[in-house]
Structure 1
Amino acid sequence: MAIEMGDLKKGLKIEIDGIPYKIMEYQHVKPGKGPAFVRVKIKSFLDGKVIEKTFHAGDKCESPNIIEKDMQYLYDEQDLYYFMDSESYEQIGLNADQVGESIKWLLESMHVSVLFHNEKAISVNVPQIVELKIVETPPNFKGDTSSAGKKPATLETGAVVQIPFHVLEGETIRINTDTGEYIEKAK
């Protein structure tokens, strides 16, 4: 299905030259002279690179053949991360490039969304908010009670995030996986 300039919007998935992209930013420009155009920032599902592209009236792009499957992360072995389809129980192994930034947040048994382009796994999306246990963080010192201060904390997945001073080792916290920021203590 062809997508025209007027159909573009933030969050839309498009395909250009056989590569699937997601529109991250969208700007419709109507200059004083000449025809209107659309300037977008698009992020590749294959390598995560963000590029800027301009679409003029009459320009078309395709809708990608992307399927999202709910899968469960099982384990990693050498350079592969194994996932199981929640419906068919079929297992697939993905390399670190395909898993991408999601590696920092993966816990065994976690349900994730795996994107397939033309029946080939291309990327893994973890939930936007995950709960992880702090395995290492410096101890608090007297006077470290201000909410403005932060300290580094290593989580059970190996990721390092900045947390407030009052949060202690062994506690479980909620993290925004899009930004890598601490949200709150888990209840």
Structure 2
Amino acid sequence: MKINGNEIRPGNVIMHQDTLWVAVKTQHVKPGKGGAFAQVELKNLLDGRKLNERFRSADTVERVRLEQKDFQFLYAEGEMLVFMDTDTYEQIELQTEFVGDRAAFLQDGMTVTLEMHEGRPIGITLPAQVTLEVTEADAVVKGQTQSSSYKPAVLENGVRVMVPPFVSAGERIVVDTNELEYVRRAD
């Protein structure tokens, strides 16, 4: 779908210079001389490069809609992660680095959302929160107050997070997968 350059909004995915870019920031500028334009900060979806580009209202760009599909995480095999399409039961393998730091939060049977463009995975969204067991937690230091101090803890997946003093090893907690931080005790 073609849109004018001044209609680009943050979060829009566009085809520019024969590759996919997502608009990170947009700023509309009306200089004293000349026509107005949109100053757009773009991030390449394939390799992460950033680019600042000016689009005039007369410029047209191709807005791309990404297809979102649910996949189920099956298992990790070396540097590859294996996912299954929940509709067609086809399996797809992705590099661990495609998921990044959050790969540690993948659990067997977890449903994730893959953003696809022409059958090629572009991005992945994990559930916002996961429940994990604390395997190690430092002892509480006497004199610490409950409200302001947190202590380091290691989760069953090896990730270190800061937890309140009352959390001890063996407890299950809910962790935010985006911020990598403690949310609450699990029920």
Which category of TM-score, normalised to the shorter sequence, fits these structures? 0.7 to 0.9
Spell out, residue by residue over 1:59-105, the C-alpha distance to the aligned partner (whole angstroms, 9 max, x if none).
Answer: 23222352111001111011100001111111111112322343132
Q: Secondary structure at the match of 1:63?
A: strand
| Kept after mapping to 2: 8 A contact 1:144/1:166 | no
Deviates more, 1:64-73 or 1:49-58: 49-58
**CA–CA distance in 2 between the matches of 1:49 and 1:166?**
43
**CA–CA distance in 2 between the matches of 1:185 and 1:15?**
44
Show the 5 A alignment for 1:1-187. Answer: 1-64=1-64, 66-187=66-187
**CA–CA distance in 2 between the matches of 1:68 and 1:98?**
16
| Kept after mapping to 1: 8 A contact 2:111/2:126 | yes
Deviates more, 1:42-51 or 1:123-132: 42-51
Provide structure 1 residue ranges, at least 5 long, that are not aligned to the other structure: none
Moved over 6 A (4+): none
Q: State how many pairs are aligned.
A: 187
Task: State the TM-score, normalizing by the size of structure 2.
Answer: 0.85
Q: CA RMSD in A?
A: 2.2
Percent identical among aligned pairs is 36
**CA–CA distance in 2 between the matches of 1:49 and 1:127?**
26
- What amino acid is the match of 2:34? G
Task: State the TM-score, normalizing by the size of structure 1.
Answer: 0.85
Provide structure 2 residue ranges, at least 5 long, that are not aligned to the other structure: none
**CA–CA distance in 2 between the matches of 1:137 and 1:52?**
45
**CA–CA distance in 2 between the matches of 1:46 and 1:163?**
35
**CA–CA distance in 1 between the matches of 2:139 and 2:130?**
24
